[in-house]
Amino acid sequence: MIQSVALNFNQDIAIMRIVFIGPPGAGKGTQAEKIIAKYKPAHLSTGDMLRAARDAKTTIGLEAEKYMSSGQLVPDEVVIGVIADRLKQDDCKAGYLLDGFPRTIAQAEALDKMLAEAGTPLDVVLELKVPDEELFTRLSKRGRADDNPETIKERIAVYNNQTSPLLDYYGKKGLLKTIEGLGTVDEIFCRIEKVLDASKGGCGCRCQ
Ligand code: ADP
């Protein structure tokens, strides 16, 4: 009995539902990997899911590719459907990192509704903040298929127009934590650890 209470308590401490927001090129992918390695949430990256669907040539994947290749957002109803299915899978019960979703207010509202119905609210929304000029430089060096100069400009504009309103949306809900995205990978991860450790009570990291 005592053992089972202790187990539940530990599980509860470990469960974190995190939204990770940041412009293309902010280093979200790199930091997401480090978050997954340390805190073990399921990694829900809509970019990865859509690229996998595209490569598998599914109906959704072929539809998504039309938008992805020009830096536009895939329509809300498509992405919301993909995430709704993914959130029902068992591994999400132990917490997850939503990476690249939501990207519009409509997506955030749909997510809120799903989570309210399931009784599983978000713990924290992390914003990785990097100035536009730096994003452009970083993306130009990366070389993914959608990293050509025109598409990069479009993706940054799409972020500023459609995704950045989410900062205010989550700020008003008291969930937003902004992480300064300039510095070394480890410095930035330290900032993230501080926020995540504090969001579940007590800071286990030793960084400044
Ligand atoms: P990045 O953050 O580098 O722009 P992602 O891998 O997150 O890249 O996404 C790549 C592309 O996939 C986006 O430019 C967009 O076309 C599509 N995409 C990913 N997530 C979403 C989403 N939540 N809503 C609409 N489109 C999305």
* % pLDDT > 70, the chain: 89
Ligand 1 atom nearest the C-alpha of 83 is: 23
CA of 44 to the centre of ligand 1 (A): 12
Residue 95 Cβ inside 6 Å of ligand 1? The answer reads: no
Picking from 197, 185, 208, the residue whose alpha carbon sits closest to that of residue 13 is 197
Return left, alpha or beta for 15; rule: phi > 0 is left, psi -120 to 50 is alpha, else beta.
beta
**Catalytic site residue 51?**
no
Residue 61 Cβ inside 6 Å of ligand 1? The answer reads: no
Residue 46 Cβ inside 6 Å of ligand 1? The answer reads: yes
Q: Whose CA is nearest to atom 18 of ligand 1?
A: 47
What is the pLDDT at residue 143?
Answer: 77
**Catalytic site residue 144?**
yes
What is the pLDDT at residue 9?
Answer: 47
What is the pLDDT at residue 1?
Answer: 46
Contact criterion met (CB below 8 Å) for 138 and 24: no
What is the pLDDT at residue 11?
Answer: 45
pLDDT digits (tens, 9 = 90+) for 177-202: 999 999 999 999 999 999 999 987 65
**Catalytic site residue 155?**
yes
**Catalytic site residue 142?**
yes
Give CA torsion, residues 178, 180, 186, 187, to 10 deg. -110
Instruction: Quote the pTM value.
Output: 0.89
What is the pLDDT at residue 12?
Answer: 46
Q: What is the mean pLDDT of the chain?
A: 90
Mean pLDDT of 146-174: 94
What is the pLDDT at residue 141?
Answer: 86
pLDDT digits (tens, 9 = 90+) for 59-113: 999 999 999 999 999 999 999 999 999 999 999 999 999 999 999 999 999 999 9
Range with the lowest mean pLDDT among 100-104, 125-129, 141-145?
141-145
Residue 50 Cβ inside 6 Å of ligand 1? The answer reads: yes
What is the pLDDT at residue 142?
Answer: 82
Judged on CB neighbours under 10 Å (0-12, 13-18, 19+), 55 is: exposed
pLDDT band at 7 (very low <50, low <70, confident <90, very high): very low
Q: Whose CA is nearest to atom 5 of ligand 1?
A: 47
Residue 180 pairs in a beta bridge with 129
